[in-house]
Amino acid sequence: MRNRHLLRAVLAALTLTLGLLGAGPATANAAPAAASAKVAAEPVRIMPLGDSITGSPGCWRSLLWNRLQSAGYTDIDFVGTLGPQGCGQPHDGDNEGHGGALVTDVASRNLLPGWLSVTRPDIVVMHFGTNDVWSNRSPDAILAAYGTLVDQMRASNPNTKVLVAQIIPMNPATCGECGRRVVALNERIPAWARSKSTANSPVIAVDQWTGFSTASDTYDGVHPNASGDEKIAARWYPALADLLDRSEPGDPEEPGEPGEPGEGEAACTASFRATSTWQGGYQGEVTVRNTGTVPLTGWSVRIAPDAGGRITQVWNGTLDTGTGTVRNTSWNGALPVGSGTSFGFLASGGSSSATVDCTATAA
CATH number for the domain including 273?
2.60.40.290
Q: Judge whether 254 lies within some domain.
A: no
Please list, residue by residue across 60-71, b when 16 or more beta carbons sit within 10 angstroms of its beta carbon and e when fewer do.
Answer: bbbbbbebbeee
Mean pLDDT in order along the chain per 10 residues (363 residues):
46 41 39 38 91 94 94 94 87 95 97 96 97 97 98 96 96 93 95 93 93 93 94 93 72 40 72 85 88 89 86 90 88 83 85 88 82
Q: Judge whether 79 lies within some domain.
A: yes
Of 213, 246, 279, which closes a domain? 246
Q: Judge whether 237 lies within some domain.
A: yes
Q: Do 208 and 97 share a structural domain? A: yes
- The predicted pLDDT at position 175 comes to 93
Give yes or no for a contact between 191 and 234, defined as CB atoms under 8 angstroms apart: no
Q: Do 164 and 303 share a structural domain? A: no
Expressed as residue numbers, the domain containing 294 is 268-361
- The predicted pLDDT at position 121 comes to 97
Q: Do 206 and 74 share a structural domain? A: yes
Q: Do 286 and 168 share a structural domain? A: no
Domain count, the chain: 3
CATH code, domain carrying 194? 3.40.50.1110
Q: Which ranges constitute the DSSP H helices of 99-138?
A: 103-108, 112-119, 130-134
Q: Do 59 and 180 share a structural domain? A: yes
Q: Do 279 and 177 share a structural domain? A: no
Q: Do 200 and 152 share a structural domain? A: yes
Nearest one of 186, 190, 144 to 169, comparing CA atoms: 186
pLDDT in tens, 117-144: 999 999 999 999 999 999 999 999 999 9
Q: Judge whether 61 lies within some domain.
A: yes
Amino acid at site 184: A
Q: Do 95 and 220 share a structural domain? A: yes
Q: Judge whether 78 lies within some domain.
A: yes
In terms of pTM, does the model score above 0.75?
A: no
- The predicted pLDDT at position 257 comes to 39
Q: Maximum Cα–Cα distance for the chain, whole Å?
A: 76
- The predicted pLDDT at position 37 comes to 35
Rounded to 5°, angle at Cα 169 from 166 and 170: 135
- Residue partners of 277: CB distance under 8 A and separation at least 6: 283, 352
Q: Do 344 and 227 share a structural domain? A: no
- Residue partners of 12: CB distance under 8 A and separation at least 6: 37, 38, 40, 41
- Per the rule left: phi > 0, alpha: psi between -120 and 50, beta: everything else, 360 is beta
Instruction: Report the relative pairing of strands 325-327 and 354-361 from DSSP bridges.
Output: unpaired
- The predicted pLDDT at position 131 comes to 97
Give yes or no for a contact between 160 and 201, defined as CB atoms under 8 angstroms apart: yes
Taking the C-alpha atoms of residue 57 and residue 348, their distance in angstroms, rounded to an integer, is: 37
Q: Do 275 and 147 share a structural domain? A: no
Q: Judge whether 252 lies within some domain.
A: no
Q: Judge whether 255 lies within some domain.
A: no
- The predicted pLDDT at position 33 comes to 39
DSSP string, 40-76: HTPPEEEEEEESHHHHSS-THHHHHHHHHHHTT--SE
Task: Determine if the peptide bond prior to 43 is cis (ω within 30°).
Answer: no
Q: Judge whether 258 lies within some domain.
A: no
Segment (H or E) for 346 = strand 340-348
Q: Do 204 and 133 share a structural domain? A: yes
Q: Do 103 and 20 share a structural domain? A: no
pLDDT in tens, 174-215: 999 999 999 999 999 999 999 999 999 999 999 999 889 999
